[in-house]
Amino acid sequence: MKKISRILLSLIAFLLIISFSVVVNAHSVELDPDGLISFPFLIMNGEGNISISTMETNYTLFYQAVEISDDVYDQIKNIQSEGEAALDALDIELDALNADCENLQTIYNEAYEKYSSLIESEAEESELETARTEYETAKTNYENKVTEYNNKVKEYNDKVNEVNKNIAELTPMYDDGAWKETENGDFKIDISTFSGTKAFALWARLDKQDGTTVYDEIICTTEGTMQEEVNVTSVKLNRTELSLTVGRDYTLIATISPDDATDKTLIWSSDNEEVATVEDGKVTAIGPGTATITVRTNDGNFEDTCKVIVTNDISIDDPNIDNNDNNNDNNNDGSKDPTIAGGKIPQTGKSFIFGSIIAILSVISVILYKKMKRYNFKQ
């Protein structure tokens, strides 16, 4: 009776341990108690597949990846590393205890066979007593070692539960508004928003046909593909000063260094928009006066300026402006090209050369005529 009571008490204690392990969970949901959800062993380029047990049909599967900060992930890795070291040490102890159990079991079996054999052969009582004592001692030693082994197994499992619990407490929960449905279990983590290695809590939600929902999660890492940011070092305008008449415009050109800067966004401004306005570098003269046009990089660290003088007098308009149609042509004031004569043939010196050739030919003709007359050639 006492033996049965001890067995029942042990069973109740074991059930209490199991119940405690299930209830104590860092998350507000129980994680896949029936093992219906399986995550991939390896995630490449942020992609993988979540599989569901073939026992389940007509379900809907959702997923989401919750980023884990670097410092939290470092804590998780430390807990995992320390836990693995402790479990490795327990593994060594378990191996030693298992070897002891096997050795003691052999001694126990041999003692039992010897004792049984003596009973069958009706050996003398003194010999039976000695064999019985050896058998009971071997049995006790073996059972004690098995108990020690089982206690060590419990210690091992408790350590596993402790490590998992500590990691779960640091694992971020899902966001109810961020679930993404997947028809075939495929998932994709956006790796274009970061560079290097980033850790995520990959959550899965299984909405079953019977109306119940099952959750599960793993911690995974993946490599980001975001280009490394290149900071701006300077911005330079092509003009430091500019003269315009009212109504004219000119487009300033801003050069950012280095050429491969990540953010080349520029912010333009005028300190006197009654004199001149600016939009994307295009300066428009509004009224007489002076204004300073400023261009600033998006990070606010670098800027350059151009002084703009606006007048009503076209005669002092900036002679260095050559901005084609948007800045007006320099030759649209009605003046003629000085190389054009009466709008006919350009005066390039060809008329002078042509006249000289005619004069020379005339002189040669006179000389030949006189010689011919002198020799009195007759036909």
3-state secondary structure 202-262: EEEEEECCCCCEEEEEEEEEEEEECCCCCCCCEEEECCCEEEEECCCEEECCEEEECCCCC
Reported residue count of the chain is 379
Contact 52, 61 (CB under 8 A): yes
Q: Which of 288, 258, 260 is nearest to 276 (CA)?
A: 288
> Distance between CA atoms of 346 and 356, rounded to whole angstroms?
18
Query: What pLDDT, on a 0 to 100 scale, did the predictor assign at position 63?
Result: 97
Across the strands, what pairs with 255?
Answer: 236
CA 128 to chain centre: 78
Across the strands, what pairs with 310?
Answer: 244, 289
Contact 231, 260 (CB under 8 A): no
Query: What pLDDT, on a 0 to 100 scale, did the predictor assign at position 367?
Result: 54
Burial 12-37 (b: 16+ CB within 10 A, else e): eeeeeeeeeeeeeeeeeeebbeeebb
Query: What pLDDT, on a 0 to 100 scale, did the predictor assign at position 228?
Result: 78
- For 295, the token pair is 């261009």
- For 54, the token pair is 């073939």
> Distance between CA atoms of 269 and 240, rounded to whole angstroms?
15
- For 46, the token pair is 């942020």
How many CB atoms within 10 Å of residue 207?
A: 16
Which run of H or of E encompasses 128?
Answer: helix 125-170
CA 229 to chain centre: 12
First CA to last CA distance, the chain? 170
∠ CA 24-25-30, nearest 5°, is: 115
Residue holding tokens 């040490």? 89
- On the 0-12 / 13-18 / 19+ scale of CB atoms within 10 A, 44 is exposed
- For 264, the token pair is 């080349």
Torsion of CA 177, 183, 188, 190, to 10 degrees: -40
- For 60, the token pair is 């809907």
Q: 0.75 cut: is pTM over it?
A: no
Query: What pLDDT, on a 0 to 100 scale, did the predictor assign at position 348?
Result: 39
Mean pLDDT, contiguous 10-residue spans, the chain (379 residues) = 40 36 50 93 92 93 95 95 95 95 95 91 89 94 95 95 92 94 94 90 95 94 84 95 96 95 94 96 96 94 96 68 44 38 38 50 53 41
Query: What pLDDT, on a 0 to 100 scale, did the predictor assign at position 23?
Result: 28
String of DSSP letters for 293-361: EEEEETTSS-EEEEEEEEES-GGGS-TT---GGGG--TT-SSPPPTTBSTTSSB-SSHHHHHHHHHHHH
CA 77 to chain centre: 20
Query: What pLDDT, on a 0 to 100 scale, did the predictor assign at position 226?
Result: 77
